[in-house]
Structure 1
Amino acid sequence: MNIIQETERLRLREMNHEDVVQLLTIFSDPVAMKYYPATKSKSETKEWIEWTLENYRKFNLGLWVVEDLETGIFLGQCGIVPQKVNKKIEMEIGYLFKREAWGNGYATEAASACCEYANEQLGITRLISIIDPANEPSVRVAKRIGMTYEQQMEKWGKLVDIYCYS
């Protein structure tokens, strides 16, 4: 298990093929996936893992599994992924947690750890988050980690807000 970061309560580690079932607890939940285009099947979740592993190989970053540090229980995913914004590649902090983990500050704690990792380990000083304007919990996480609203744009066939951390 390749551990990326540990915080007071969380472990962020590289995703692997054995994480399909845990990720499906989020991807198959229509409430957790409300701001995504659709829920994901098991085969789509496997494709997601392959995309993540490719990001590790190409960019030395990606989405990481977030676990409770003490118990090892799967909570969600958080990490840094390349996204095309205004015709250039930007590094985005993304986070998605299972509903049972909501409201405990895990997304903020994991996203903060990702900012620290990006700055200290990768030398990345500018990070963005692409957020559906109606996704108020994600907006709150972005603001808590020091991001500010930058612009609105169309991506994935809808309007999204871009928050920036630099």
Structure 2
Amino acid sequence: MRILETARLSLREMTEEDIPYLLQIFTDPQAMAYYSSTKNEAEARTWVRWVRSCYEKSGIGLWIVEETESSRFIGQVGLMPQVIAGRDEVEIGYSLVRHEWNKGYATEAAIGCRDYGFHHLGLTRLISIIDPRHTKSRNVALKVGMEWEKQIIKWEKNVDIYAISVSRQHDIERYGPFWKEDGAQDILQLKRAHKNKSW
């Protein structure tokens, strides 16, 4: 089932037929460098079944990302239920096959999920859970409009929590994104936006 579309991408539900595509990510040590390990076919099947259980329980989960025009597999991006310090959260998660990196696909799909979460599902807050060493993932979170919130221990390691709320999303829609091409936030633009806001 198709969930959403962006300018170049289509996001749909994951099925066991996608296992060969997912293995392009799961068996790549570089793509999996910030995860606990790579995955074999049996582990990939378990992963797909877990994601589909999230669809059934929560109505959300990671979705298969395809290039719309060609139906080419790009990766998996979506909204995942998480528990952080005893609090229910919804995470924007993303992992792409390596030969599709550096094309803006992760940011485009993540922004599509952000907007779907806020405007379609009525969520008021979204997070991303990022290994502090994973600069590419951090830059995607910043381009989605997230800010660093805190560092916690999860999955037996330190991870950074980035978050965006509906109020910050309103700032972005009204004044534009507060980041530069290198992923650094434009603090002067952010200050000007807040100084001039009238609501």
TM-score computed with the length of structure 1 as normaliser: 0.98
> Displacement, 1:121?
1.5
Partner of 1:77: 76
Partner of 1:156: 155
Q: Secondary structure at 1:153's aligned position in 2?
A: strand
Partner of 2:42: 43
Task: Compare the two structures and name the one with the higher strand fraction.
Answer: 1
5 Å-filtered alignment, 1:11-50, equals 11-50=10-49
5 Å-filtered alignment, 1:11-160, equals 11-160=10-159
One-letter identity of the residue aligned with 1:145: V
Whole-Å Cα distance in 2 between the matches of residues 134 and 42 of structure 1? 27
Which consecutive aligned stretches of 4+ in structure 1 deviate over 3 angstroms post-superposition?
none
> Displacement, 1:65?
0.2
- How well do the aligned residues superpose, as a CA RMSD in angstroms? 0.5
> Displacement, 1:41?
0.8
- Gaps of at least 5 residues in structure 1 are none
Aligned length: 165
> Displacement, 1:75?
0.5
Q: Secondary structure at 1:4's aligned position in 2?
A: strand
Q: Secondary structure at 1:24's aligned position in 2?
A: helix
> Displacement, 1:159?
0.4
Which structure has more relative contact order (CA 8 Å, sep 6+)? It is: 1
> Displacement, 1:17?
1.1
Whole-Å Cα distance in 1 between the matches of residues 137 and 16 of structure 2? 27
> Displacement, 1:125?
1.6
- Gaps of at least 5 residues in structure 2 are 166-199
> Displacement, 1:88?
1.6
> Displacement, 1:89?
1.6
Whole-Å Cα distance in 1 between the matches of residues 21 and 133 of structure 2? 26
Whole-Å Cα distance in 2 between the matches of residues 132 and 114 of structure 1? 20
Whole-Å Cα distance in 2 between the matches of residues 105 and 142 of structure 1? 12
> Displacement, 1:24?
0.3
| Higher Rg of the two aligned structures | 2
One-letter identity of the residue aligned with 2:155: W
> Displacement, 1:108?
0.2
Whole-Å Cα distance in 1 between the matches of residues 151 and 64 of structure 2? 29
TM-score computed with the length of structure 2 as normaliser: 0.82
Whole-Å Cα distance in 1 between the matches of residues 82 and 39 of structure 2? 20
